[in-house]
Amino acid sequence: MNDPVNRTMLLVDIEKFSDRDDVEQAFLRRMLYDVVDRTMERAGIDETLRLRADQGDSVMEFIDPNVPVPQVLRSVISELPAQLKAVNRMASSAAQMRLRAVVASGFIALDERGIWVGSDLNHACRLLDADLLRAALRERPGDVALCVSQSVWTGIVRHHHLGIPAEEFHEVTLASKNGPLPAWLLGSVPASGQAAVTPGAAGPAPTPAPGASGERPGPAGGTEAGPSGGGSASTSAPAPAPAPAPAPAAQPPAGIHFTGGAPVFGGGLVMGNQHGVSGGRVDGDVVLGSVGGPPRPGRTPNGSTAGGHAPGVDTPEQDGPSPDGRQTPDSGEAGPR
Protein backbone atom coordinates (compact mmCIF):
# COMPACT_ATOMS: atom_id res chain seq x y z
CA MET A 1 0.00 0.00 0.00
CA ASN A 2 1.22 3.48 -0.86
CA ASP A 3 1.77 6.13 1.77
CA PRO A 4 -1.42 8.09 2.63
CA VAL A 5 -1.86 11.45 0.94
CA ASN A 6 -4.08 14.35 1.95
CA ARG A 7 -7.01 14.95 -0.42
CA THR A 8 -10.26 16.87 -0.63
CA MET A 9 -13.03 14.35 -1.22
CA LEU A 10 -16.26 14.89 -3.16
CA LEU A 11 -18.77 12.02 -3.00
CA VAL A 12 -21.97 12.10 -5.08
CA ASP A 13 -24.73 9.46 -5.06
CA ILE A 14 -27.90 9.01 -7.18
CA GLU A 15 -31.17 8.75 -5.29
CA LYS A 16 -33.21 5.54 -5.86
CA PHE A 17 -30.72 4.21 -8.39
CA SER A 18 -31.64 0.55 -7.73
CA ASP A 19 -35.31 1.26 -8.52
CA ARG A 20 -34.47 1.79 -12.21
CA ASP A 21 -34.07 -0.88 -14.88
CA ASP A 22 -30.74 -1.59 -16.57
CA VAL A 23 -31.26 0.85 -19.46
CA GLU A 24 -32.18 3.69 -17.11
CA GLN A 25 -29.25 2.94 -14.80
CA ALA A 26 -26.78 3.09 -17.71
CA PHE A 27 -28.24 6.43 -18.80
CA LEU A 28 -28.12 7.84 -15.25
CA ARG A 29 -24.47 6.89 -14.90
CA ARG A 30 -23.61 8.85 -18.03
CA MET A 31 -25.58 11.81 -16.73
CA LEU A 32 -23.78 11.63 -13.38
CA TYR A 33 -20.34 11.67 -15.02
CA ASP A 34 -21.37 14.58 -17.20
CA VAL A 35 -22.71 16.65 -14.28
CA VAL A 36 -19.64 16.07 -12.07
CA ASP A 37 -17.20 16.80 -14.91
CA ARG A 38 -18.91 20.09 -15.77
CA THR A 39 -18.99 21.11 -12.09
CA MET A 40 -15.24 20.50 -11.71
CA GLU A 41 -14.42 22.27 -14.96
CA ARG A 42 -16.41 25.36 -13.93
CA ALA A 43 -14.34 25.41 -10.71
CA GLY A 44 -11.12 25.34 -12.74
CA ILE A 45 -10.26 21.78 -11.66
CA ASP A 46 -9.23 19.74 -14.67
CA GLU A 47 -8.75 15.98 -14.81
CA THR A 48 -5.05 16.16 -13.97
CA LEU A 49 -5.90 17.50 -10.50
CA ARG A 50 -8.34 14.79 -9.50
CA LEU A 51 -8.66 11.05 -9.23
CA ARG A 52 -11.95 9.18 -9.61
CA ALA A 53 -13.35 6.03 -8.04
CA ASP A 54 -16.54 4.56 -9.53
CA GLN A 55 -19.02 2.96 -7.12
CA GLY A 56 -21.82 2.16 -9.56
CA ASP A 57 -24.59 4.43 -8.32
CA SER A 58 -22.07 6.94 -6.92
CA VAL A 59 -18.77 8.54 -7.83
CA MET A 60 -15.89 9.71 -5.63
CA GLU A 61 -13.51 12.50 -6.62
CA PHE A 62 -10.16 12.88 -4.81
CA ILE A 63 -8.93 16.39 -5.50
CA ASP A 64 -5.34 17.53 -5.35
CA PRO A 65 -4.46 19.38 -2.12
CA ASN A 66 -3.12 22.27 -4.21
CA VAL A 67 -6.72 23.12 -5.13
CA PRO A 68 -8.20 25.37 -2.41
CA VAL A 69 -11.04 23.70 -0.54
CA PRO A 70 -13.23 26.87 -0.71
CA GLN A 71 -12.95 26.68 -4.49
CA VAL A 72 -14.26 23.11 -4.47
CA LEU A 73 -17.03 23.87 -1.99
CA ARG A 74 -18.28 26.96 -3.84
CA SER A 75 -18.59 24.94 -7.01
CA VAL A 76 -20.52 22.16 -5.29
CA ILE A 77 -22.90 24.63 -3.62
CA SER A 78 -23.75 26.67 -6.72
CA GLU A 79 -22.62 24.86 -9.87
CA LEU A 80 -23.66 21.28 -9.10
CA PRO A 81 -27.40 22.12 -8.73
CA ALA A 82 -27.29 24.29 -11.86
CA GLN A 83 -25.69 21.55 -14.00
CA LEU A 84 -28.10 18.94 -12.66
CA LYS A 85 -31.10 21.13 -13.46
CA ALA A 86 -29.88 21.65 -17.02
CA VAL A 87 -29.56 17.89 -17.58
CA ASN A 88 -32.94 17.05 -15.99
CA ARG A 89 -34.70 19.54 -18.24
CA MET A 90 -33.72 17.43 -21.26
CA ALA A 91 -34.48 14.05 -19.68
CA SER A 92 -37.75 12.13 -19.54
CA SER A 93 -39.60 11.65 -16.27
CA ALA A 94 -38.09 8.15 -15.91
CA ALA A 95 -34.56 9.59 -16.24
CA GLN A 96 -34.83 12.41 -13.69
CA MET A 97 -31.92 12.41 -11.27
CA ARG A 98 -31.50 13.71 -7.73
CA LEU A 99 -28.20 13.67 -5.83
CA ARG A 100 -26.78 13.42 -2.33
CA ALA A 101 -23.32 14.97 -1.95
CA VAL A 102 -20.60 15.07 0.72
CA VAL A 103 -17.48 17.25 0.86
CA ALA A 104 -14.81 15.98 3.28
CA SER A 105 -11.06 16.02 3.69
CA GLY A 106 -8.48 13.62 5.05
CA PHE A 107 -5.85 11.05 4.25
CA ILE A 108 -6.31 8.18 1.81
CA ALA A 109 -3.97 5.54 0.41
CA LEU A 110 -3.98 3.29 -2.66
CA ASP A 111 -3.61 -0.42 -1.95
CA GLU A 112 -1.95 -3.03 -4.18
CA ARG A 113 -5.24 -3.67 -6.03
CA GLY A 114 -5.74 -0.02 -6.90
CA ILE A 115 -8.46 0.58 -4.27
CA TRP A 116 -8.52 3.74 -2.20
CA VAL A 117 -8.66 3.06 1.54
CA GLY A 118 -8.51 5.07 4.74
CA SER A 119 -10.50 5.89 7.87
CA ASP A 120 -11.29 9.42 6.64
CA LEU A 121 -12.73 7.93 3.44
CA ASN A 122 -14.85 5.48 5.45
CA HIS A 123 -16.15 8.41 7.48
CA ALA A 124 -17.14 10.30 4.31
CA CYS A 125 -18.87 7.24 2.83
CA ARG A 126 -20.99 6.82 5.97
CA LEU A 127 -22.03 10.47 5.82
CA LEU A 128 -23.15 9.93 2.22
CA ASP A 129 -25.20 6.87 3.19
CA ALA A 130 -26.78 8.34 6.35
CA ASP A 131 -30.55 8.21 6.69
CA LEU A 132 -30.72 11.87 7.68
CA LEU A 133 -29.09 12.98 4.43
CA ARG A 134 -31.51 10.76 2.49
CA ALA A 135 -34.42 12.33 4.37
CA ALA A 136 -33.10 15.83 3.68
CA LEU A 137 -33.13 15.16 -0.08
CA ARG A 138 -36.55 13.50 0.10
CA GLU A 139 -38.20 16.39 1.98
CA ARG A 140 -36.81 19.37 0.06
CA PRO A 141 -37.92 20.67 -3.35
CA GLY A 142 -34.39 20.94 -4.77
CA ASP A 143 -32.48 18.12 -6.43
CA VAL A 144 -29.30 18.21 -4.27
CA ALA A 145 -28.70 17.60 -0.55
CA LEU A 146 -25.21 18.48 0.70
CA CYS A 147 -23.41 17.97 3.99
CA VAL A 148 -19.78 18.56 4.94
CA SER A 149 -17.57 16.82 7.47
CA GLN A 150 -16.61 18.33 10.80
CA SER A 151 -13.08 19.09 9.54
CA VAL A 152 -14.39 21.02 6.51
CA TRP A 153 -16.75 23.01 8.72
CA THR A 154 -14.01 23.84 11.22
CA GLY A 155 -11.34 24.74 8.66
CA ILE A 156 -13.46 26.36 5.91
CA VAL A 157 -17.20 26.90 6.30
CA ARG A 158 -17.32 28.66 9.66
CA HIS A 159 -14.94 31.38 8.42
CA HIS A 160 -17.54 32.75 5.96
CA HIS A 161 -15.44 32.58 2.81
CA LEU A 162 -16.89 34.25 -0.25
CA GLY A 163 -19.71 32.21 -1.78
CA ILE A 164 -20.02 29.87 1.24
CA PRO A 165 -23.11 30.73 3.36
CA ALA A 166 -22.03 29.49 6.79
CA GLU A 167 -25.34 30.62 8.34
CA GLU A 168 -27.22 28.12 6.15
CA PHE A 169 -25.34 25.11 7.54
CA HIS A 170 -26.83 23.26 10.52
CA GLU A 171 -24.94 20.98 12.86
CA VAL A 172 -26.37 17.46 12.93
CA THR A 173 -25.42 14.02 14.17
CA LEU A 174 -25.78 11.22 11.67
CA ALA A 175 -26.31 7.64 12.78
CA SER A 176 -23.96 4.99 11.43
CA LYS A 177 -23.04 1.39 12.21
CA ASN A 178 -19.97 2.68 14.08
CA GLY A 179 -21.91 5.20 16.18
CA PRO A 180 -22.96 8.84 15.77
CA LEU A 181 -21.09 11.01 13.27
CA PRO A 182 -20.99 14.81 13.51
CA ALA A 183 -21.61 16.73 10.28
CA TRP A 184 -23.01 20.00 8.94
CA LEU A 185 -26.04 19.99 6.66
CA LEU A 186 -26.68 22.73 4.10
CA GLY A 187 -30.30 23.87 4.34
CA SER A 188 -33.06 22.94 6.74
CA VAL A 189 -32.90 19.81 8.85
CA PRO A 190 -35.60 17.30 7.82
CA ALA A 191 -38.52 16.77 10.21
CA SER A 192 -37.60 13.09 10.57
CA GLY A 193 -34.11 14.09 11.72
CA GLN A 194 -34.93 16.75 14.33
CA ALA A 195 -34.03 14.35 17.15
CA ALA A 196 -30.54 14.00 15.67
CA VAL A 197 -29.74 17.72 15.85
CA THR A 198 -26.90 18.35 18.28
CA PRO A 199 -26.16 21.44 20.44
CA GLY A 200 -28.66 24.26 20.30
CA ALA A 201 -31.68 22.04 19.60
CA ALA A 202 -32.27 20.56 23.01
CA GLY A 203 -35.90 20.32 24.02
CA PRO A 204 -37.38 21.12 27.47
CA ALA A 205 -35.60 19.45 30.35
CA PRO A 206 -37.43 16.53 31.97
CA THR A 207 -39.08 17.25 35.30
CA PRO A 208 -37.09 15.61 38.10
CA ALA A 209 -38.89 13.22 40.40
CA PRO A 210 -39.26 14.20 44.07
CA GLY A 211 -36.06 13.41 45.93
CA ALA A 212 -33.97 13.04 42.75
CA SER A 213 -30.58 14.74 42.41
CA GLY A 214 -31.87 17.18 39.77
CA GLU A 215 -29.40 16.13 37.08
CA ARG A 216 -31.80 13.62 35.58
CA PRO A 217 -35.23 12.19 36.44
CA GLY A 218 -35.31 10.08 39.56
CA PRO A 219 -35.63 6.30 39.32
CA ALA A 220 -39.10 4.87 39.04
CA GLY A 221 -40.73 3.34 42.04
CA GLY A 222 -38.59 5.25 44.59
CA THR A 223 -35.54 2.98 44.29
CA GLU A 224 -32.04 4.33 44.77
CA ALA A 225 -30.08 5.50 41.74
CA GLY A 226 -27.31 3.18 40.61
CA PRO A 227 -23.68 4.08 39.99
CA SER A 228 -24.55 5.70 36.64
CA GLY A 229 -27.31 7.82 38.10
CA GLY A 230 -25.39 11.06 37.63
CA GLY A 231 -25.52 12.31 41.24
CA SER A 232 -26.02 11.18 44.81
CA ALA A 233 -28.46 8.36 45.39
CA SER A 234 -31.84 9.37 46.74
CA THR A 235 -35.06 7.61 47.55
CA SER A 236 -38.46 8.88 46.51
CA ALA A 237 -41.37 8.63 48.96
CA PRO A 238 -43.73 5.79 48.03
CA ALA A 239 -47.06 6.84 46.61
CA PRO A 240 -49.99 6.50 49.06
CA ALA A 241 -52.21 3.47 48.54
CA PRO A 242 -55.63 4.25 47.09
CA ALA A 243 -58.45 4.43 49.67
CA PRO A 244 -60.61 1.29 49.69
CA ALA A 245 -64.13 1.62 48.35
CA PRO A 246 -66.73 2.00 51.14
CA ALA A 247 -68.56 -1.21 51.95
CA PRO A 248 -72.33 -1.19 51.46
CA ALA A 249 -74.26 -0.30 54.63
CA ALA A 250 -75.46 -3.38 56.54
CA GLN A 251 -79.17 -3.72 57.23
CA PRO A 252 -79.95 -3.34 61.00
CA PRO A 253 -81.27 -6.44 62.80
CA ALA A 254 -84.89 -6.74 63.83
CA GLY A 255 -85.92 -4.93 67.03
CA ILE A 256 -85.98 -1.40 68.40
CA HIS A 257 -83.10 0.94 67.51
CA PHE A 258 -82.67 4.41 69.03
CA THR A 259 -80.15 6.63 67.21
CA GLY A 260 -81.33 9.98 68.55
CA GLY A 261 -84.57 11.86 68.05
CA ALA A 262 -87.95 10.17 67.94
CA PRO A 263 -88.03 6.39 67.41
CA VAL A 264 -89.38 5.05 64.16
CA PHE A 265 -91.28 1.75 64.07
CA GLY A 266 -91.87 -0.20 60.91
CA GLY A 267 -94.53 -2.91 60.97
CA GLY A 268 -96.00 -4.27 64.19
CA LEU A 269 -94.30 -4.45 67.59
CA VAL A 270 -95.37 -6.69 70.48
CA MET A 271 -93.53 -6.58 73.81
CA GLY A 272 -94.15 -7.11 77.53
CA ASN A 273 -97.83 -7.60 78.48
CA GLN A 274 -99.04 -8.00 74.90
CA HIS A 275 -99.04 -4.26 74.24
CA GLY A 276 -99.16 -3.55 70.53
CA VAL A 277 -97.82 -0.61 68.61
CA SER A 278 -98.92 -0.49 65.02
CA GLY A 279 -96.76 0.69 62.15
CA GLY A 280 -96.14 4.39 61.72
CA ARG A 281 -94.17 7.17 63.39
CA VAL A 282 -94.50 7.55 67.20
CA ASP A 283 -93.78 10.93 68.80
CA GLY A 284 -93.45 11.55 72.53
CA ASP A 285 -93.15 8.99 75.31
CA VAL A 286 -93.80 5.30 74.79
CA VAL A 287 -94.87 3.32 77.88
CA LEU A 288 -94.79 -0.45 77.58
CA GLY A 289 -96.00 -2.47 80.60
CA SER A 290 -97.63 -1.40 83.90
CA VAL A 291 -97.08 2.02 85.39
CA GLY A 292 -95.23 1.91 88.68
CA GLY A 293 -92.08 2.88 90.50
CA PRO A 294 -90.89 6.38 91.21
CA PRO A 295 -92.55 9.21 89.32
CA ARG A 296 -90.84 10.26 86.13
CA PRO A 297 -90.03 13.87 85.27
CA GLY A 298 -93.13 15.78 84.20
CA ARG A 299 -95.58 13.55 86.16
CA THR A 300 -97.23 13.85 89.59
CA PRO A 301 -96.92 11.13 92.21
CA ASN A 302 -100.44 9.88 91.49
CA GLY A 303 -99.53 9.17 87.88
CA SER A 304 -101.24 12.18 86.30
CA THR A 305 -99.37 14.43 83.90
CA ALA A 306 -98.38 17.95 84.79
CA GLY A 307 -101.23 19.23 82.66
CA GLY A 308 -103.82 17.30 84.70
CA HIS A 309 -104.39 14.47 82.28
CA ALA A 310 -104.10 11.04 83.82
CA PRO A 311 -102.57 8.48 81.58
CA GLY A 312 -104.32 5.23 80.98
CA VAL A 313 -103.29 2.39 83.26
CA ASP A 314 -102.55 -0.78 81.41
CA THR A 315 -103.88 -4.03 82.86
CA PRO A 316 -103.83 -7.53 81.48
CA GLU A 317 -107.61 -7.38 81.03
CA GLN A 318 -107.81 -3.99 79.30
CA ASP A 319 -105.44 -2.21 77.01
CA GLY A 320 -104.99 1.54 77.31
CA PRO A 321 -105.14 4.03 74.50
CA SER A 322 -102.37 4.03 71.94
CA PRO A 323 -99.75 6.71 72.37
CA ASP A 324 -100.98 8.67 69.38
CA GLY A 325 -104.46 9.09 70.88
CA ARG A 326 -106.18 6.48 68.73
CA GLN A 327 -108.33 3.79 70.31
CA THR A 328 -107.28 0.20 70.14
CA PRO A 329 -109.31 -2.07 67.93
CA ASP A 330 -111.10 -3.61 71.02
CA SER A 331 -112.68 -0.31 72.11
CA GLY A 332 -114.83 -0.09 69.04
CA GLU A 333 -114.09 3.63 68.65
CA ALA A 334 -112.04 5.04 65.84
CA GLY A 335 -109.64 7.69 66.90
CA PRO A 336 -108.71 10.70 64.82
CA ARG A 337 -106.65 10.13 61.76
Q: How far apart are CA 25 and CA 15, in angstroms?
A: 11
7 class by beta-carbon count within 10 Å (0-12 exposed, 13-18 middle, 19+ buried): buried
What's phi and psi for 274, nearest 5 deg? Answer: 60, 40
Residue type, 132: L
pTM for this one?
0.57
Packing angle of the helix pair 22-42, 80-89 (nearest 10 deg):
140
Q: How far apart are CA 122 and CA 189, in angstroms?
A: 23
Residue type, 142: G
Helices and strands, counts by H and E, the chain: 6, 12
Q: What is residue 259's predicted lDDT score, i.e. its pLDDT? A: 58
Q: Strand ranges (DSSP E) for 168-231?
A: 169-174, 181-186
Instruction: Let me know: does 286 contact 323? Beta carbons within 8 Å.
Output: yes
Q: How far apart are CA 111 and CA 1, in angstroms?
A: 4
Cβ neighbours of residue 57 under 8 Å, at least 6 residues apart? 13, 14, 17, 18, 25, 29
Q: How far apart are CA 115 and CA 53, in angstroms?
A: 8
Q: How far is CA 69 from the centre of its chain?
A: 43
Q: pLDDT (tens digit, 9 = 90+) per residue, 223-237?
A: 333 333 444 434 444
Start-to-end CA span in the chain (Å) = 124
Q: How far apart are CA 292 and CA 269, in angstroms?
A: 22
Instruction: Let me know: does 136 contact 187? Beta carbons within 8 Å.
Output: yes
Q: How far apart are CA 86 and CA 230, in angstroms?
A: 56
Question: pLDDT per position in the chain (337 positions), as tens?
Answer: 788 889 999 999 999 888 888 998 999 999 999 999 999 999 899 899 999 998 878 899 999 999 999 999 999 999 999 999 999 998 888 889 999 999 999 999 988 888 888 899 999 999 999 999 999 999 998 999 999 999 999 999 999 999 999 999 999 998 877 788 899 999 999 886 654 444 444 343 344 444 443 333 333 433 333 333 444 434 444 555 666 666 655 555 555 555 555 555 555 555 555 555 555 565 666 555 555 555 555 555 555 444 444 444 444 444 445 445 444 444 444 444 4
Q: What is residue 255's predicted lDDT score, i.e. its pLDDT? A: 56
